[in-house]
Amino acid sequence: MNNLEIIIITISCILYLIPTIVASLNLFFFNSNNHNQTNNQKNKVSVLIPARNEEKNIEKCVNSIIEQGEIVEEILVYNDHSTDKTEKIIKSLVKKYKNIVKQTETKNLPEGWLGKNYACHRLAISSKSEYILFVDADTTLKNKAISNLYKICTKSDNSMISAWPKIVMKTKIEKLLMPILNLIVFTIFPYIISTKINLPNLGLAHGACIFFNKKTYLKLGGHKLVKNNFFEDTSLAKKWRTFGEKSKIINGENIITVRMYESFNEITEGFTKNFYPALGSVIRFFIFQVYFFVAYILFPILILVFVFQSKVDILFFIVIFLSYLPRIIINLKFRYGITSLVVNPLSIIIMLYIGFRSYYHSLIKKNITWKKRIYNFEK
């Protein structure tokens, strides 16, 4: 083995070993929870839905909650100053499902709050059940989903449970870009370790579905803790652990589905608001960007250059395979098609672009646009 081969093997280990190990562990241990026994509990959960411009989704979401049965005491919906027909549809649902579906009064957004976070806060303090479940309006709950969440929460010492949803993707652009979310999260986040060690940095949540013990939620402050944070879901999980409470993320493919975004503009806008806040610092941001560029773009290109210069060796093909291995494992885990493997470099490039866009809007331009609302930050 010559010096060049030793260098290539060393770089490959540095770049791909940890993501491959983490992804492999998640492949085997991050499994869906099935607790489908009959649940005789009644009136235990308030389901809380913040909604802004959700005319396409809100009725389907509410109907899926109604089908959960008697465990649901009430469904509270907060219209976050929608500019479409959301208000009209909410009122029709309140009329249709009397005494179950209720509309929480819309208030002006106070200074220092983000829209969804304030909506969640208002919903929580208006609820009356022992447990509260926040779901996004673009989600659909599966059969016995709330019973499952209730059992997982009450049979453990976790006062916060979040179900990582099955992401529905219909258009080509969704199938190109949305799998990147799970690639990033589940090659970094060590699920099995997070269940054993309650460190704040191992907190993870998906805002589409979070289940709380209400007493604990109110005692700690709930969404007040993250009132101006775009990355409020995972930030809440980390805050929970900071206070000594336990949080848990579960595989929610049998619990809830969500179609997060439908177009390139929605994907770009949605990831722009979350990307930089998720990393939380300039140093972490640039480490992340440089790593993904080197690992999944630059280094594979350099290896291919060696191949095309006739310096062909089985080692080079092994390195190319290793660069794809984390993505292959994630594709197996979440059952993505082979197309997403082929276009992986393009997906990474677009993700890096969105990352820099998020950095620019968060730190330089100092404003974020989300659902036709512009948030300006002090310069």
Distance CA 102, CA 115 (A): 19
Q: Which residue has the higher pLDDT, 28 or 2?
A: 28
Pairing relation of β-strands 101-104 and 72-79?
A: parallel
Burial of 329 (0-12, 13-18, 19+ CB in 10 A): buried
CA angle 189, 217, 117 (to 5 degrees): 75
Q: What is the mean pLDDT of residues 125-140?
A: 97
Domain map (residue ranges) of the chain: 3-26+271-376, 30-260
Max Cα–Cα distance, the chain, nearest Å: 76
Residue 165: strand pairing partners: 252
pLDDT, residue 1, reads 60
pLDDT, residue 236, reads 97
CB neighbours of residue 342 within 10 Å: 11
pLDDT, residue 6, reads 82
Strand order in the sheet with 158-167: 101-104, 72-79, 45-51, 131-135, 209-213, 158-167, 246-258, 139-141
Percent of residues, the chain, with pLDDT higher than 90: 82
Q: What is the mean pLDDT of residues 143-156?
A: 94
Identify the three-state secondary structure at position 359: helix
Residue 374: strand pairing partners: 369
Query: Does residue 35 carry a pLDDT above 60?
Result: no
The beta strand positions in the chain, using DSSP E, are 45-51, 72-79, 101-104, 131-135, 139-141, 158-167, 209-213, 246-258, 367-370, 373-376
Contacts of 67 by beta carbon, 8 Å cutoff, 6+ apart: 141, 143
Contacts of 3 by beta carbon, 8 Å cutoff, 6+ apart: none
Q: Which residue has the higher pLDDT, 9 or 358?
A: 358
pTM for this model (two decimals): 0.94
Contact 252, 149 (CB under 8 A): no
Confidence of residue 34 (pLDDT cuts 50, 70, 90): low
Mean pLDDT score of the chain, rounded to an integer? 93
Q: Nearest to residue 323, comparing CAs of 15, 21, 5, 26?
A: 15
**What is the amino acid identity at position 345?**
P
CA angle 169, 175, 179 (to 5 degrees): 95
Confidence of residue 312 (pLDDT cuts 50, 70, 90): low
**What does the DSSP 8-state code read for residue 109?**
P
pLDDT, residue 368, reads 92
Confidence of residue 39 (pLDDT cuts 50, 70, 90): low
pLDDT, residue 43, reads 76
Distance CA 73, CA 91 (A): 19
Q: Which residue has the higher pLDDT, 121 or 314?
A: 121
> H/E/C letters for each residue in 136-176?
CCCEEECCCHHHHHHHHHHCCCEEEEEEEEEECCCCHHHHH
Distance CA 285, CA 280 (A): 7
pLDDT, residue 23, reads 96
Condensed to tens digits (0 to 9), the pLDDT of residues 316-344 reads 888 889 999 999 999 999 999 888 888 99
Condensed to tens digits (0 to 9), the pLDDT of residues 68-112 reads 999 999 999 999 999 999 999 999 999 999 989 999 999 999 999
Q: What are the angstrom distances between the C-alpha of 231 and each of 197, 205, 228, 302, 310?
A: 22, 10, 9, 36, 48
CATH topology of domain 30-260: Spore Coat Polysaccharide Biosynthesis Protein SpsA; Chain A (3.90.550)
Which residue is associated with the tokens 């092994």?
A: 318
